[in-house]
Amino acid sequence: SNLAAPWSTIRPVLIYFLCLLVHSTAQFKVVGPDHPVTAIVGEEIVLPCHLSPRMSAEKMEMTWFRSQISPFVHHYSDGKDQYGLQMPEFQGRTELLKDGLLNGSVALRILSIRPSDEGQYHCLVLDGIFYEEALLDLKVADPFFPRVNPWMVALSVILMVLLGSFALSAYLFWIKGNLRIRKYRVIHKRLSSKKLVQ
């Protein structure tokens, strides 16, 4: 019983370091794009991901997930897709492209893209005790309501204010000039009338 307490404390630490050791000796890397992938609302998109060096992934286990591994976006194991713990919002909208598995491709197709699909995706590949993962970003664009850069909005507002100020200044200058001309005409008319009277 005296040994049980220290062992229960040490065991999680040993498991953690064992996982680090296993991870460091992984026989492959999972590679994703080094730039964000852009999708259009309502269309489909393929999230590319592959093993390096290239090798067959047919007998491996793959999990695509967002912030947490469960529930997942898509899971493949035992040679088939597993939907038991799939995120409800992705049900019926995901497909692992199995044609590329033999060549190490573990790309995922997402159908009917939604604005909420935007964000980070993890591609985790497990082969026995070896595992690796890649992280990629998905950007979603709406062709009918394109996103506008806040700086562009601010710049547009500033330009509109400046143009409005210039227009107002020009209008006031024009009015002031017209008043001067009218005043000059009135004075000139009065002087002319006085000369005629004299």
pLDDT per residue as tens digits for the range 111-146: 999 999 999 999 999 998 889 999 999 999 987 665
What pLDDT, on a 0 to 100 scale, did the predictor assign at position 35?
A: 95
- 65, exposed or middle or buried, with CB in 10 Å at 0-12, 13-18, 19+? buried
Q: What is the dihedral of CA 176, 182, 185, 191, to 10 degrees?
A: -90
**Mean pLDDT of the residues in the chain:** 83
What pLDDT, on a 0 to 100 scale, did the predictor assign at position 188?
A: 66
- Which amino acid is residue 54, in one-letter code? R
176 pLDDT tier (thresholds 50, 70, 90): confident
Q: Which of 10-24, 78-92, 150-164, 169-183 has the highest mean pLDDT?
A: 78-92
**What is the pTM (predicted TM-score) of this model?**
0.62
User: Is 27-141 CATH 2.60.40.10?
Assistant: yes
What pLDDT, on a 0 to 100 scale, did the predictor assign at position 95?
A: 96
CA–CA distance, 67 with 98 (Å, rounded to integer): 24
In terms of Cα–Cα distance, which of 143, 141, 135 is closest to 47? Answer: 135
